[in-house]
């Protein structure tokens, strides 16, 4: 048997498995949205645990774990780019570092979903610095604005360059970043929106759904890009 060189690495990915993964993600996104809109509208299931575990506004529950898991998949998909292109030496050093940073960012966000890192930082700022700035109430999004804007700018510039060979994947990534930034904007306006009779009630469900939709689009784009490189071969199941 002829030994494979590093540049000969091939990964076989059953088309049906990839489709099922993405279909499951979209199905769960829709399910959680419907459940959370119903909860916001006043539905109360007889089993209270259901309401607690599926409430996306709750940071410690199954719904939060799902969001964390989606982000882990995005991190894995970013690492996949290194596997399919990096081993043969065809990926520039800057690209390797960039994809590692994307994977690391996804894993950090995954951890944040279930460990309330951003809320803790916001709470510490309010405790030790003050809860207002120029007379306005400060929430965690303002405190972490430099990180959020820096990460968004990095993702936009890096992925625009890296995905130039797959326009469809690049378009998905841009929509994904728009969803994420939209969710952050809604979080920033929480104290204004929640004072409104209808919008405020449904704001958490819409905000969290935007995050999940953005993550799913990012995952779809990364997988599409990896499959287009030729070293991840989509085969019938």
Residue 203: what pLDDT? 84
| % helix, strand, coil for the chain, step of 5 | 75, 5, 20
Residues 154, 173: Cα–Cα separation, whole Å: 13
Structure tokens at 231: 């070293």
Nearest to 54 by CA among 71, 30, 75: 30
For 141-175, how does the pLDDT look when each residue is reduced to its tens digit (9 = 90+)?
777 778 999 999 999 999 999 999 899 999 999 99
Residue 131: what pLDDT? 62
Structure tokens at 21: 């993964």
Structure tokens at 187: 């979080």
Residues 101, 86: Cα–Cα separation, whole Å: 15
Q: Whole-prediction pTM value?
A: 0.85
Beta-sheet pairing, 136-137 with 132-133: antiparallel
- 10 Å Cβ neighbour count for 23? 10
Residue 5: what pLDDT? 38
- Where in the chain are the domains? 13-235
Residues 173, 155: Cα–Cα separation, whole Å: 9
Residue 137: what pLDDT? 65
Residue 196: what pLDDT? 63
Question: Which residues of the chain are under the pLDDT cut of 70?
Answer: 1-14, 86-89, 122-123, 125-138, 140, 191-200, 229-237
Residues sharing a CB contact under 8 Å with residue 61, sequence separation 6 or more, in sequence order: 52, 53, 54, 55
Residues 213, 217: Cα–Cα separation, whole Å: 6
At what angle are helices 199-228 and 167-188 packed, to 10 degrees? 160
Residues 32, 47: Cα–Cα separation, whole Å: 17
Length of the chain: 237
For 22-50, how does the pLDDT look when each residue is reduced to its tens digit (9 = 90+)?
999 999 999 999 999 999 999 988 888 88
Instruction: DSSP for 9-43, please give it.
Output: --EEEEHHHHHHHHHHHHHHHHHHHHHHHHHHTT-
């Amino acid at each position: 048997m002829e030994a494979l060189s590093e540049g000969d690495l091939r990964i076989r990915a059953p088309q049906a498995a990839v489709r099922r993964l993405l279909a499951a993600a979209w199905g769960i996104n829709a399910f959680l949205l419907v459940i959370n809109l119903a909860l916001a509208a006043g539905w109360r299931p007889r089993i209270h645990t259901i309401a607690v575990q599926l409430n996306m506004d709750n940071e410690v529950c199954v719904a939060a774990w799902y969001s964390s898991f989606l982000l882990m998949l995005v991190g894995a998909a970013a690492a996949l780019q290194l596997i399919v292109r990096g081993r043969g030496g065809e990926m520039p050093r800057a690209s390797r570092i960039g994809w590692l940073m994307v994977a690391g960012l996804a894993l950090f966000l995954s951890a944040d979903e279930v460990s309330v890192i951003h809320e803790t930082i916001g709470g510490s700022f309010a405790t030790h610095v003050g809860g207002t700035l120029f007379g306005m109430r400060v929430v965690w999004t303002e405190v972490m604005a430099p990180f959020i804007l820096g990460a968004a700018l990095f993702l936009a510039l890096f992925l625009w360059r890296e995905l130039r060979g797959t326009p469809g994947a690049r378009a998905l990534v841009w929509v994904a970043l728009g969803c994420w930034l939209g969710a952050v904007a809604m979080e920033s306006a929480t104290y204004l929106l929640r004072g409104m009779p209808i919008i405020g009630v449904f704001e958490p469900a819409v905000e969290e759904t935007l995050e999940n939709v953005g993550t799913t689009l990012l995952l779809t784009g990364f997988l599409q890009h990896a499959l287009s490189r030729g070293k991840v071969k989509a085969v019938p199941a």
